[in-house]
Amino acid sequence: MKVPEAGAEVPHQPVLYQQILDYLRPTSPGRYVDGTLGAAGHALGILQASAPEGQVLGLDIDSSAIAIARKRTAAYERRILIRHGSYSDLADHLREIGWESVDGMLLDLGVSSMQLDTAGRGFSFLKEAPLDMRFDERQSVTAARLLDTLDQKRLVQILRDYGEEPRANQIADAIIRNRPFRTTTQLAELVLAVYHGQRGKIHPATRTFQALRMATNSELERLSQGLAQAIQALRPGGRLAVISFHSLEDRLVKQFFQRESRDCVCPPEQVICTCGHKATIRVITKGALTPSQEEIAQNPRSRSAKLRVAEKM
């Protein structure tokens, strides 16, 4: 797969790149939103496909990603607007730039390769670093602060709900006994000790780190807010594409698409509809699309990606 290039080079390979372009169908003079801009890999493709007058609003809460994206998209400066902000505030961003509606929107969820590979950010348990995990470094709450201040009940809830961690109680107890935590390796070693050093297909700390990252950044809450605002912003016929990387995100997107594509969301046992809900979208993808074996071979981190697409009615 050849990725468009412009400006500075970065070790970045957009997931499901061609599928995103095929489903969003960028055209000139369309308006599109990349709600998780990152290194602008997808945005560059949308800009090229929507030439000569297509526009992109790129949003990201990671200042490092914003800096890289600005360099990579310098050749398209006239047609791209980059904002340091979240897709969960999409309505505000659109209002600020004077866009009443958009022709398409992309959300590429989760942690990026750049964030994982930057040791100082604290996303990976493979490298010793401060236990930070913030996507937005303007945010005051870090992962370490959460571990140091949350009670046992809330820690268990986070580990179970966000990490689907089977030993949530034991890990939460160990955290309470051994805090404060300052580094990634401190936490990873504690989880490994709870598992008595046993390693399966994945490192025992994987689920704990995922859960803590999601809690630190309020990821599912932001996603719920962003999905609702995206559907509201799309013009009729506009499309929303969402790439998720684990079951919690994908389940939330799937359920949202299912609900918003139905005229009634009353409980099945209720004979007469009282909700007044009307379908706003139709689901374009049958199930979730996944990367080809060729893409997975080129980019192993893409293996868990799932793409769902909906169209505004």
pLDDT of residue 96: 98
Tens-place pLDDT, residues 66-89? 999 999 999 999 999 999 999 999
Name which of 90-99, 200-209, 249-258 the model is least confident about.
200-209
User: What Cα–Cα distance (Å) separates residue 173 from each residue in 195, 206, 243, 312?
Assistant: 13, 18, 34, 47
- For residues 41 and 32, what is the distance between their CA atoms, to the nearest angstrom? 14
Instruction: Kindly report the number of other CB atoms within 10 A of residue 102's CB atom.
Output: 23
Are 152 and 163 in the same domain? yes
- What pLDDT does 91 receive? 98
Is-contact 23 91, C-beta < 8 A? no
The reply to whether 45 falls in a domain is: yes
* Angle made by CA atoms 223, 34, 124, in degrees to the nearest 5: 60
Q: In terms of domains, do 154 and 294 share one?
A: no
For the domain that residue 162 is a member of, what is the CATH number?
1.10.150.170
In a domain, 148, yes or no: yes
CA distance 100 to 187: 46
| pLDDT score of 288 more than 90 | yes
Handedness of CA 213, 194, 305, 223 (dihedral sign): negative
- Asked if 56 and 171 sit in the same domain, the reply is no
Q: In whole numbers, what is the pLDDT of the chain averaged over residues?
A: 93
Out of 181, 216, 251, pick the residue that ends a domain: 216
How many domains does one find in the chain? 2
DSSP assignment of 110-174 equals: S--HHHHH-GGG---TTS--BS---SSTT-S--HHHHHHH--HHHHHHHHHHHH--TTHHHHHHH
Last residue of a domain, one of 156, 187, 216: 216
Q: Is the pLDDT of residue 119 over 90?
A: no
pLDDT, residue 26, reads 98
> Is 131 part of any domain?
no
Look at residue 303 and tell me whether its pLDDT is greater than 50: yes
pLDDT for residue 8? 40
242 found inside a domain: yes
Same domain, 298 and 238: yes
Predicted confidence at residue 305, as pLDDT, reads 97
What pLDDT band is residue 115 in, cutting at 50, 70 and 90? confident
Q: Are residues 174 and 239 in the same domain?
A: no
50 belongs to a structural domain: yes
Q: What is the pLDDT of residues 228-262, one digit of tens each?
A: 999 999 999 999 999 999 999 999 999 999 999 99
pLDDT of residue 117: 81
Q: Per-residue pLDDT averaged across 252-275, rounded?
A: 93
- Mean pLDDT along residues 116-140: 91
* Domain span holding position 289: 17-114+219-312
Can you tell me the distance from the alpha carbon of 263 to that of 277, in angstroms, rounded to the nearest whole number? 5
Q: What CATH number is associated with residue 100?
A: 3.40.50.150
Supply 282's token pair: 């139709």
Q: Using H for helix, E for strand and C for coil, what is the string for 176-222?
A: HHHCCCCEHHHHHHHHHHHCCCCCCCCCCCHHHHHHHHHHHCCHHHH
